[in-house]
Structure formats: structure tokens, C-alpha cells
Amino acid sequence: MQIDTPTPHTPVTTDQVAALYELPFMDLLQRAHAVHRAHHNANAVQRSTLLSIKTGGCSEDCGYCSQSARRDTGIERGKLMELEEVKQAARAAKASGASRFCMGAAWRGPKEGDLARVIEMVRAVKELGMESCLTLGLLGAGQAEQLAAAGLDYYNHNLDTGAEYYDQVVTTHSQSARVDTLTRVRAAGMKICCGGIIGMGENRSVRAALIAQLAGMNPPPESVPINHLVAVPGTPMEHAPALDPFEFVRTIAAARITMPASFVRLSAGRQQMSDELQALCFFAGANSIFYGERLLTTENPEASRDVALFERLGLVAL
């Protein structure tokens, strides 16, 4: 089945994305790489650093998350970091080669007093000449506008999984509530970072539905993180069945083909990936990574390993 590469105004259907998954693996990679090369420097990867500015104690029950107050995962409830601590971390990230600094807080959504402190952090990051990104949960009326006024570049809020599978992952809020936040972010003039998590027990049709839903946004997210589940002990996903690595690569390829202009980020789970698997993901269209030794509460490859891998593959940092 031939599927034309979509534009932001002609998104594919779930059935069309499912057809991509059914292609022979080499044919899918060849097609994804051609799309990637037509829209991006095929040997350049954007590097972001992610800092947890407030860890643990979240009221939500997201089944994959170690920071839910409903789980015993060994993560202690922390306070919002001080501004100077964030500045120090951002300076270190820039010095190590990151061009975007992302900050995450374990909240259902920010309170106004906390939002004011986070806005100071955004301004500090911008003063360093870095792109800024936040993930704070659900945004209320007027909050996206405040963040935009502070100069925030990206707001991250993932769809997590296909809509029909969402209640198998989260029950304390709906996926439509997440979509409402993304609508607020876009209306305020900010860019969107939005993707999902693969390997939570979903089937291929759910993955195809997720990719189709992301590609169906008008415009699609500028940044699309594709996370491989990190099965954290103490979470409901602790014993999720292992995902075929080629299925993960297929998801990267499907994201690239359906969202040709977006940055597709190889996100959580890289610590468990071989260099060879990551290279396949880069060939399939991934052109962004999280760079640094931690992603909120989970491990990430050491910067030195990423530098060595880039050198072996002839990749350069954006």
C-alpha cells in the first residue's frame, strides 16, 4: 500500500499508519530515511537536557510514573528547586553541548505561586541563550499566556498512548484534558513537544493510533519524543512484556514519515539500548536526544557515551 508523505494539512489515518508498520523492515527504514534526509540534515542531532525541578508527590496515577504519590517506588517528595540551583544546572548543560534546557515538575498542574517561580527559571535559561521547555502537567486558564510572555519556547505534554488505551494507563484524568492543555499552549503561541511511550502493553494498532493522532494535530508537534517504557519497580508497568526492539524502530520510522518537519526525539529508555539500536533509530529519522545522566528520575546514558557514539557515527550536534 502506497502512502504519500503527508503535509500538516493532510494527516494520515490510523489505518494508513498501521500499513506503514506492516511494511518489510528494510523498506520502511529506506522510506523513513528518505523523508528524513529531504527535511533535515541526516547527520545532525539536537541535544536537550532535562532537569527535575520538583520531584515526587504527584497526585496522578499514571501507570508508568515513579513520581506518583500513590506508588511506593522509593522516590521521595521534594520541594521546588531554588532559582540558583536551576541556573547552575542550565549553565552546566550548555557547557556540555545542550542547546535546549527542559524542566519538569511532578504536579497535576502548577499553582499560581509556583508558576511565578518557574517563570523566573525560564527567564534565567533564556538569558543563557538556550531554548527553554517546561513540563508542568495540566495548565489552567491564563497560565499558558504567562509562560509565553516569559519567553518559553516549548511546552511538553505527551499524549502517552492511543486514545482507546488511555484508561489502561491513567485514570485520574482523561487524555482529552491533555489535549485541552495542548490547545491552550498552541493558542498562546508556543511550540509543542508531544509524543508518547511505547511498550506499556499496548498492541500495534494502539501505536498506530497514537502516531496518527500526533500527526493529525494542525500543525503537528514541533518536537515528538518517542519514549521506550522504563519499567520502574513499584509501578503498575513494572512487569510489562518486553517490546521487540524492531517495533520501537518501526515507531520512530512511522513518526518520521507522518511528521516530516518535526524533530523526533529518542527519549526515555536509551540507557537500555545498544549503540546499534540507537543507530537504527537515527537512520529511521530520530534527530533529537535527551543529553545528560538523568531523565527526571530514571537513568540516561552518560554524556561521554553519547559523544563517543556521535563520533563513531559521524553525527554532529545542533
CB atoms within 10 A of CB 21: 17
pLDDT tens digit sequence for 158-179: 999 999 999 999 999 999 999 9
Does the structure show a pLDDT above 50 at 128? yes
Task: Please pick, among 31, 62, 184, 194, the residue that the annotation labels catalytic.
Answer: 62
* Distance of alpha carbon 297 from alpha carbon 1, whole angstroms: 42
Coil, strand or helix at 212: helix
Tell me: domain 41-317, CATH 3.30.230.70, correct?
no
pLDDT tens digit sequence for 248-293: 999 999 999 999 999 999 988 898 899 999 999 999 999 999 876 5
Range 132-154 average pLDDT: 96
Task: Please pick, among 47, 71, 100, 102, the residue that the annotation labels catalytic.
Answer: 102
pLDDT tens digit sequence for 226-238: 999 998 898 999 9
Task: Please pick, among 31, 133, 207, 250, the residue that the annotation labels catalytic.
Answer: 133
Q: Across the strands, what pairs with 155?
A: 134, 192
Q: What are the distances in angstroms from CA 19 to CA 4, 14, 15?
A: 12, 9, 6
Range 184-191 average pLDDT: 96
pLDDT given for residue 198 in this prediction: 97
Q: Which of 1-5, 73-77, 195-199 has the lowest mean pLDDT?
A: 1-5
Range 213-219 average pLDDT: 95
Domain spans, the chain? 41-317
* Distance of alpha carbon 243 from alpha carbon 221, whole angstroms: 25
Q: Is 281 a catalytic residue?
A: no
Task: Please pick, among 31, 47, 65, 256, the residue that the annotation labels catalytic.
Answer: 65
Backbone torsions φ then ψ of 191, nearest 5 degrees: -85, 155
Check: CB of residue 189 under 8 Å from CB of residue 148: yes
Confidence of residue 317 (pLDDT cuts 50, 70, 90): confident
Q: Is 62 a catalytic residue?
A: yes
Task: Please pick, among 58, 184, 194, 207, the residue that the annotation labels catalytic.
Answer: 58
Q: CA dihedral defined by 135, 141, 144, 145, rounded to 10 degrees?
A: -160
Q: Is 194 a catalytic residue?
A: no
Task: Please pick, among 100, 178, 250, 265, the residue that the annotation labels catalytic.
Answer: 265
pTM given for the model: 0.90
Residue 102 amino acid letter: C
Task: Please pick, among 47, 71, 193, 207, the residue that the annotation labels catalytic.
Answer: 193
